[in-house]
Amino acid sequence: MKHYMDYEKKYKEQLNENIKKVIEEIDSDYMNIKISKFAEKYDESPESIKKKIIEDEIFRKIFAKEPSKQNFYQNVAAEYIKNIDGVEDFEVLPQGGDKAMYMVSGNLIQGKSLKNKNQNSKSIDFYWRYYKYEVYASHKFIKEEGGAQDNQYQDVQNFLNDSRDNN
């Protein structure tokens, strides 16, 4: 097994899969809404847009789902971690709500127990057992600096600071 995850390769594979699905899903409610909005925006008929999607692969790419909006990076990381020798009971944890897990000042806390719902901690992404250890992990994937990426970097720093006092 590789000791790293090739996110870019996996991203392109998923994007190509999503492009293929555009034709399969062209008559779905989701795609009809997307096509209708596009047609209205550019003063075209939905039928002409559908025809162009079917005939033109480059145009079809406009309607493909963006992998990064499908929990793609989290799913890729999860699949990678699950396949590491020694990993057992792997779980993708809920992102919010009563069953989400948080690390606050060195304490592992379930969402329903949080007193201050406006606290700064983000929910923990993954749990697994690795031999005698229980592992809780935060996962973020960013490619560029600035803006929202800085916020994600800060989220991971906060998680590490909150986890420091928990062994």
111-136, pLDDT tens digit by residue?
A: 888 766 556 678 899 999 999 999 99
Residues 84 and 58 in one domain: no
Range of the domain at 32: 7-69
Residues 77 and 156 in one domain: yes
Whether 2 maps to a domain, the answer reads no
Q: Write the DSSP string, 44-66.
A: --HHHHHHHHHH-HHHHGGGSPP
Split at pLDDT 50, 70, 90, the class of 43 is: very high
- pTM (predicted TM-score): 0.69
Query: Structurally, how many domains does the chain consist of?
Result: 2
Whether 126 maps to a domain, the answer reads yes
Split at pLDDT 50, 70, 90, the class of 145 is: low
Residues 64 and 80 in one domain: no
Residues 81 and 154 in one domain: yes
Residues 132 and 99 in one domain: yes
What is the pLDDT, as a whole number, of residue 158? 79
Greater model confidence, 73 or 46: 46
Mean pLDDT taken over the chain: 87
pLDDT reading at 2 higher than 60: no
Residues 50 and 63 in one domain: yes
Whether 151 maps to a domain, the answer reads yes
What span, in angstroms and rounded, lies between the C-alpha atoms of 31 and 50? Answer: 10
Residues 63 and 81 in one domain: no
Tokens 């590490």, located at residue? 160
pLDDT reading at 52 higher than 90: yes
What is the Cα 74 distance to its own chain's centre?
5
Q: Burial letters for 113-141: b for 16+ Cβ neighbours within 10 Å, e otherwise?
A: eeeeeeeebbbbbbbbeeeeeeebebbbe
Tokens of residue 149, six digits: 């990426």
Residues 105 and 159 in one domain: yes
Residues 116 and 59 in one domain: no
Contact 50, 60 (CB under 8 A): no
Q: How many C-beta atoms lie closer than 10 Å to residue 103's C-beta?
A: 23
**Residue 71, amino acid:** N
Residues 153 and 101 in one domain: yes
Residues 13 and 92 in one domain: no
Tokens of residue 13, six digits: 């594979």
What is the pLDDT, as a whole number, of residue 151? 73
pLDDT reading at 87 higher than 80: yes
Tokens of residue 45, six digits: 């008929």
pLDDT reading at 3 higher than 70: no
